Structures are given as C-alpha cells and as structure tokens.
Amino acid sequence: MSDIRHDWTKEEILEIYNRPLIDLIYEAAKVHRQHHDPKEVQVSTLLSIKTGGCPEDCAYCPQAARYHTDIEKNDLMSVAQVRKAAEEAKAAGSSRLCMGAAWRNVRDNDEFDQVLDMVKTVYDLDMEVCCTLGMVTENQAKRLAAAGLYAYNHNIDSSEEYYKEIISTRGWEDRMETLGNVRKAKLTVCSGGIIGMGEKAEDRCGMLLALSNLNPHPESVPINGLVSVEGTPLEDQEVVPIWDMVRMIATTRIVLPETTVRLSAGRTQMTDEGQALCFLAGAGSIFAGDKLLTTPNPEFNKDMALFQALGLNPQAPYKKGGKPTVDEEAYKTRPENGEKIKWSRPGHTIEKNVAASEKAKTPSA
Ligand code: SAM
Ligand code: DTB
Ligand code: SF4
C-alpha cells in the first residue's frame, strides 16, 4: 500500500508530474488498484439551483455578472423543481446530486433555509447530496450537515500564486477558511481545480501540494479542464491537451491515494480513448448528464456506452462513507446573531479584470 503523506514537497510532486507518461500512468494505475475498485466509477449529476449574476470575478466563470456571457440567469429554484431533477438523475443512474449556486457566500436568510430543505429532500431519495454555494461559516456548514449533506465542494482552483491572477475579489485564505469550516462540520471535502487557464506545471503541482497539506486529505478532488466561454477573460484559452489532463489525474492519484479523483469539466472536448486513459490513471468519478452548471457535457447514454466498453460500473450511494443522520431541529434553527463571513480583501479594487470586462462590453466588428 502506498503511504498517505502530508509532507510532500513541490519538487517531489513535479518530479512525478514530469515522468515519462507511460511510466506515470502505470504507477498511478497501481496506486489506484491498491486503494480503490478500478471498475467502479462514482457518477454525480450537477444542478445549477441559482444561475448567474455572481459578484465575484473568477476569470474562467460564465456566471460572473461582470462578464456579459450568453447564459440564462435564474433565481433560486423551488424545492419541487429540485426534487424532480434529483428523481430524474437517480433514474438515470447517478448516486449523487451536486447543487451549485452562483453566490459569493451563503447568508442566513430565507434562501438558505430553502437550500436546506432541498438538501433534506434529496437525502430522502437516498442519494448522496453535495452543495457548492461559495463561502460558508462553521454554523452554516453544520446546518447543511444536519440537513443530510454528504459533501461540500469548494475548489482552490490553482496554486496560491496563480490564484491571484485568476480571482481578485477574494483571497486564497478565504477559500481555506471555508474548507476548515466544512471539516469542522464533519462533512466530506470536495476541493480541486482547473487546468488550462495559462498556469504552469509548477502551479498544477502547487495546487496538489496545498491539497496534500490538508489533514485529512479531501475525500474528493475534481480536476476540471477549462471550458473557455465567450465573454470571460479566458475566452481565447486553447483546449488543454489530453496528455496534460492524464498527467494531472495520474499525479493527483499518486499524491492523494485514497481520494476520489473526479474527471470533471472538459469531457466534451475529449475522445472516448482519452477518457479511458484518465480512468486507467486513477479517475474514479464523473459528472454525468448533458449539462454541467451552464455548459454542455456528454449525453448520459454516451457515457453509459463508454462504461460498457471499458467494463466500468456506476458506484452505489454511500459506498465510501455512511449515510449522514438528519437533525431537523438543528438545521431549521437560524442563528440569532449569525457570524459574518470574514473577507480578506475589504475595499479591494478589481485591477485584473477591468480590461476583460471592457473588452466584453465592446461589440466585435
Ligand atoms: N460559486 C461557488 C464557488 O465558486 O465556489 C460555486 C459554483 S462554481 C461555478 C464551482 C466551480 O466550478 C469553480 O470553483 C470552478 O472550479 C468550476 N468552474 C467554473 N467555471 C468553469 C469553467 N468555465 N471551466 C471549468 N471549471 C469551471
Ligand atoms: C467542479 O469542480 N466542477 C463542477 C462542480 N465542481 C461544481 C462545475 C464545472 C462548471 C463548468 C462550467 C459551467 O458549466 O458553468
Ligand atoms: Fe461566482 Fe463561483 Fe463563478 Fe466565481 S466560480 S464567479 S464565485 S459562481
């Protein structure tokens, strides 16, 4: 068995990342087989419960209000809409529903109470429930856990150094604080990032170093290939080469042996054979369904045909951890004097993304 280490160095991770690909895949596949059933893939469905209009300036994101992209904005969904979507996802074979909101952070208001009811509703369908709602306080994370949440997704996106190039409206430390709050609530942690944003191999390995310093390691690490969306500052970014995706998945597999590595956004740009290499190199999860949050994803039937060709099976819910218990009173109780999200950048100026925003406003000739 390979060791679970929290003392990796950047140099060690880079050395792994830069190995001849054929050796890297072989080593990663060995680690994967020691710690996971290589024939099982956890299948999640994403649902955007509140779309667009986000005040943040994440340079990759079509949902940032300032970027004038072509997405359909939507207010918070109703609990009934979420139940219907969850039932459909379950019938199609997903064991987890991941609900995303284009929020900077959660507030202790009626909308959060509604999200808590959504969590309980999906929990009652015997699906694993995940949320990605932006920053949360410890109390908010605990209320989510009491409603039956299984995992909270909050990506660190890149290395600490490159993060500053991509987002200026919040700091790396804000992200880390939320991950700490998620852990305090005994939720499982889902945190990873994006490749193909113009970062270097050092940044990719820096991100893995930061994740490996978390103790325990995140239960789940999504590796997203950038989906470049017109109107965002990263609209002209080239599709990340498949070899980089395989390299990144394999390196994640070796550095974080017990973690589920999610082959996340970017699959529409990949061939079946490219995805097969990702599974071989240690990917143990995908987002299924023809939409991610706002951008396209492969059709469900196409994924099931690929699973069949490769001899893969969708994983049952709660296979890697017990079903949480719900505490109705705890999740329904709003704190009287709710703790405010700490913000590391009061009075920030949005230096980085002003130019991109101006560019997006200028009609092309
Ligand atoms: N607003 C919340 C937040 O930022 O934490 C939750 C939703 S946000 C859309 C979830 C994650 O999706 C981001 O952290 C980012 O890693 C990923 N993401 C967003 N846009 C993407 C894109 N165009 N390509 C790849 N991944 C993307
Ligand atoms: C993650 O790492 N990737 C998912 C999920 N966590 C929330 C989101 C991908 C979003 C891709 C762009 C879009 O569809 O808006
Ligand atoms: Fe907002 Fe999340 Fe998009 Fe950043 S990634 S702009 S926080 S929705």
61 in active site: yes
Nearest CA to ligand 3 atom 2: 102
* Ligand 2 binding pocket includes 153 (Cβ within 6 Å): yes
Interval 129-161: pLDDT, tens: 999 999 999 999 999 999 999 999 999 999 999
Q: Whose CA is nearest to atom 6 of ligand 3?
A: 64
Residues 6+ apart with CB under 8 A from 280: 25, 29
Q: What is the pLDDT of residues 277-335, one digit of tens each?
A: 999 999 999 999 999 999 999 999 999 999 999 999 999 999 888 899 999 999 999 99
In short, whether 222's Cβ falls inside 6 Å of ligand 2 is: yes
Q: Where are the beta strands (DSSP E) in the chain?
A: 40-50, 96-101, 128-132, 151-153, 188-190, 193-195, 220-225, 260-263, 283-288, 313-314
Structure tokens, 294: 């706002």
CA–centroid distance, 68 to ligand 3, in Å, is 14
| 287 CB near ligand 1 (under 6 Å) | no
Contact 112, 333 (CB under 8 A): no
Q: What is the pTM of this model?
A: 0.94
d(CA 42, CA 307): 12
- Give start and end residues of each alpha helix (H) in 152-241: 160-166, 172-184, 201-213
Give the pLDDT score at 360. Answer: 41
* Chain segment 5-59, per-residue pLDDT in tens: 999 999 999 999 999 999 999 999 999 999 999 999 999 999 999 999 999 999 9
> Pick the catalytic residue: 66, 262, 267, 278?
262
Q: Please, are residues 173 and 140 in contact by the beta-carbon 8 Å criterion?
A: no
The ligand whose atoms approach the alpha carbon of 234 most closely is 1
Question: Residue holding tokens 């209009």?
Answer: 53
Atom of ligand 3 lying closest to residue 54 CA: 1
- pLDDT average, residue stretch 207-227: 98
Atom of ligand 2 nearest to the CA of 264: 3
DSSP state for residue 81 in the 8-state scheme: H
Catalytic status, residue 98:
yes
Residue 364 in this model has a pLDDT that exceeds 50: no
Cβ contacts of residue 76 below 8 Å, gap of 6+?
A: 49, 50, 101, 111, 114, 115
Ligand nearest to the CA of 60: 1
Phi, psi of 75 (to 5 degrees): -70, 175
Query: Does 234 contact ligand 3 (Cβ within 6 A)?
Result: no
Amino acid, res. 64: A
| Residue located nearest, by CA, to atom 23 of ligand 1 | 227
Distances (CA, A) of 169 to 340, 347, 349: 17, 10, 8
Tell which residue, 255, 263, 241, 244, has the closest CA to residue 312: 263
pLDDT tens profile 227-284: 999 999 999 999 999 999 999 999 999 999 999 999 999 999 999 999 999 999 999 9
CATH number of 20-322+343-356: 3.20.20.70
Give residue 60 CA to ligand 3 midpoint distance, Å.
9
What whole-number distance in Å separates Cα of residue 278 and Cα of residue 243? Answer: 9
Q: Both tokens of residue 225?
A: 């290939």
Confidence of residue 354 (pLDDT cuts 50, 70, 90): low
Does the CB atom of residue 288 touch ligand 1 within 6 A?
A: no
Nearest to 215 by CA among 173, 155, 247, 258: 258
Q: Is the CB of 292 under 6 A from ligand 1?
A: no
**Ligand 3 centroid to residue 58 C-alpha, Å:** 6
Strand 313-314 versus strand 193-195 pairing type: unpaired
Residue 205 designated active-site:
no
Q: Which atom of ligand 3 is nearest to the CA of 102?
A: 8
C-alpha 258/C-alpha 261 separation (Å) is 9
Complete DSSP assignment for 109-156: SHHHHHHHHHHHHHHTTT-EEEEE-SB--HHHHHHHHHTT--EEE---
pLDDT at 363: 45
Spacing, Cα 26 to ligand 1 middle (Å): 30
Distance 193 CA to ligand 1 centre (A): 8
> Does ligand 1 lie within 6 Å of residue 98's CB atom?
no
Give the torsion sign (CA, 37, 316, 192, 237).
positive
At residue 132's C-alpha, the angle toward residues 109 and 158, to 5°, is 130
Residue 53 C-alpha to ligand 3 middle, in angstroms?
9
- Coil/strand/helix, residue 231: coil
What are the extents of the domains in the chain? 20-322+343-356
State whether the beta carbon of 31 lies less than 6 angstroms from ligand 1.
no
Q: What is the Å distance from ligand 3's center to 309 Cα?
A: 36
Dihedral of CA atoms 317, 253, 185, 85 in degrees, nearest 10, equals -40
CA-derived radius of gyration, the chain:
19
Give the max Cα distance, the chain.
59
Among candidate residues 66, 96, 130, 253, the one labeled active-site is: 130
